[in-house]
Amino acid sequence: MNVADSELVEGLLQNQGYSPSQSLETADVIFVNTCSIREHAEEKVHSQLGRYHLIKKRKPEVLIGVLGCMAQSLKDDILENKPFVDIVLGPDSYRKLPEFLNRKQTIRNNQVDTKLSKFEVYDDLFPSRREGINAWISIMRGCDKFCTFCIVPFTRGRERSRSVEGIVREAKQALDEGFVEITLLGQNVNSYSHEGNDFHDLLEAVAKVHGIKRIRYTSPHPQDMTDPLLDVMASHQNICNSIHLPLQSGSDHVLKRMNRTYGKSHFIDLAQRIREKLPRVGISTDIIVGFPGETEKDFLETIDVMKTLRFDSAFQFKYSPRRGTKASEYEDQVPEKEKQSRLAEIIELQKLHTLERNETFVGSVEPVLVEKESKRSTTQWAGRTDSNKWVIFDKGNTSLKEIVPVEIKEAKGVSLHGKCIKKSEAA
Ligand code: 5AD
Ligand code: SF4
């Protein structure tokens, strides 16, 4: 989401005649687009700001701005302790950027706007995108779910969706610019709703745009995972066979305190129904360990769901208390050491499951989108299956952006290795 927002800001600035600088040292203006989701993300911003402060000491004319989610929480800190920051803009205030930059030439005070909007979706702004494979398209903003651990509803405000027409227009434009894959984005992507159109209506409209090779979306909430959505996924070849389904916890007790609105057995049934409707679908998840009050027994319930479902991959986190959220006030916080050992345990377990799932692909032929050169070798490509697994294979006669058949030979670590069996042009 932050990459997409940065592209939006870049587009906005380019419209005003600004251009991206090649390095921090030569920049006239430096922005950091921030994330508040966990403490670690915030720490990274503080250390970046330390670096920018040094630049500002050497070049006082450089303007420094803090954008995005942390603007809200940093506002007071900045006004009090970080006078070197010139501009603070929350996620709904990016349009103010050109005005603030102009005003900053004459006014010395910090320029701050962190108001959240019920309407802002930046429907008319085109992001400036860099690479040519995947275009992120933000389709809705904000979240109304209020999971008790999560800061997003506070930093990003209420849910609001863009028009189907605006999104389709942006998809066509991305296609014209050479992008072949679209990823629809939202904090709560499948609770998209605009003038009677639900997420599955939007997904179908995008799937029908001629020429888009692949469509992905993230991140959905299990509560909004409907049968019509699975039907649309099953009936369009260009919608990838991959679903991110955040579990968070396998314990009913913890899920209730998280306000996740589903229980363990509902989640398992849902994942199994997804696998029935979409054979060979890749299912990834998010898991939090050490949520307040999580006992050893609760933790074992999470392990149990992992073992029952065997996710293809998972993002795993230690619970990080966020100021202002309900869970941060719960009194039964789990000790850091316990969180750490639970995290290590699920990371090891997930590694086994990822390998096990990947091994089921060995021997099959997968359509792989050629996305980039492999990090290990200049003679090999890296690309993804539509179930979202990375595959490494010799380049042969294939080029970037092509979807090619690759015979999977081996599952190693988190990726697959294969051999492209595309017939040569002459044959
Ligand atoms: N602590 C740890 N993980 C969190 N997430 C969101 N808030 C927190 C938090 N306070 C995780 C959830 C979510 C993912 C994007 O980040 O798993 O799905
Ligand atoms: Fe946060 Fe996602 Fe829950 Fe919304 S649905 S509160 S973004 S974890």
Alpha-carbon distances of 99 from 103, 105, 316, rounded to whole Å? 6, 10, 40
Pocket flag, ligand 2, residue 146 (CB < 6 Å): yes
Give, for 152, the enclosing helix (H) or strand (E).
helix 152-156
> What ligand 2 atom has the least distance to the C-alpha of 143?
4
110 within 8 A of 87, measured Cβ to Cβ: yes
Q: Rounded to an integer, what distance in angstroms lies between the CA atom of residue 223 and that of residue 274?
A: 13
Residue type at position 281: V
CA of 425 to the centre of ligand 2 (A): 48
- pLDDT for the residue numbered 270: 98
Q: Pocket of ligand 1, candidates 147, 248, 287, 288: which has the most ligand atoms within 8 Å of its Cβ, to mutate?
A: 288
Question: Closest residue (by CA) to atom 5 of ligand 2?
Answer: 145
- pLDDT for the residue numbered 74: 77
Q: At what angle do helices 39-58 and 69-81 cross, to 10 degrees?
A: 50
- pLDDT for the residue numbered 427: 46
φ, ψ for residue 199 (rounded to 5)?
A: -60, -40
Q: Rounded to an integer, what distance in angstroms lies between the CA atom of residue 13 and that of residue 214?
A: 29
Pocket flag, ligand 2, residue 156 (CB < 6 Å): no
With a cut of 50, list the residues of the chain below it in pLDDT. 427
Note the ligand closest to the C-alpha atom of 244.
1
DSSP class of residue 334 equals P
DSSP class of residue 168 equals H
Closest-CA residue to 177 (of 244, 111, 231, 131):
131
243 within 8 A of 281, measured Cβ to Cβ: yes
Closest-CA residue to 408 (of 418, 422, 398):
418
Strand duo 134-138 + 111-113: pairing: unpaired
Pocket flag, ligand 2, residue 152 (CB < 6 Å): yes
Q: What is the token pair recorded at 259?
A: 């306000």
Handedness of CA 304, 309, 314, 320 (dihedral sign): negative
**Can you tell me which residue has the tokens 């995972």?**
225
Give, for 204, the enclosing helix (H) or strand (E).
helix 199-207
Helix (H, G, I), strand (E, B) or coil at 323: coil
Q: Pocket of ligand 2, candidates 144, 160, 188: which has the most ligand atoms within 8 Å of its Cβ, to mutate?
A: 188
Q: Rounded to an integer, what distance in angstroms lies between the CA atom of residue 142 and that of residue 193?
A: 12
Q: Pocket of ligand 2, candidates 152, 259, 322: which has the most ligand atoms within 8 Å of its Cβ, to mutate?
A: 152
Rounded to two decimals, the pTM is 0.95
Q: What is the token pair recorded at 126?
A: 């085109």
CA of 186 to the centre of ligand 1 (A): 15
Pocket flag, ligand 2, residue 186 (CB < 6 Å): no
Count of CB atoms situated within 10 Å of the CB of 364: 13
283 within 8 A of 243, measured Cβ to Cβ: yes
For residue 208, with 0-12 CB atoms within 10 Å meaning exposed, 13-18 middle and 19 or more buried, which class applies?
exposed
Give, for 226, the enclosing helix (H) or strand (E).
none
Q: What is the token pair recorded at 359?
A: 């091994």
Question: Closest residue (by CA) to atom 14 of ligand 1?
Answer: 286
Residues in the ligand 1 pocket, defined by CB under 6 Å? 37-38, 149-150, 246, 248, 286, 288, 317, 319-320, 322
Closest-CA residue to 336 (of 320, 349, 350, 347):
320
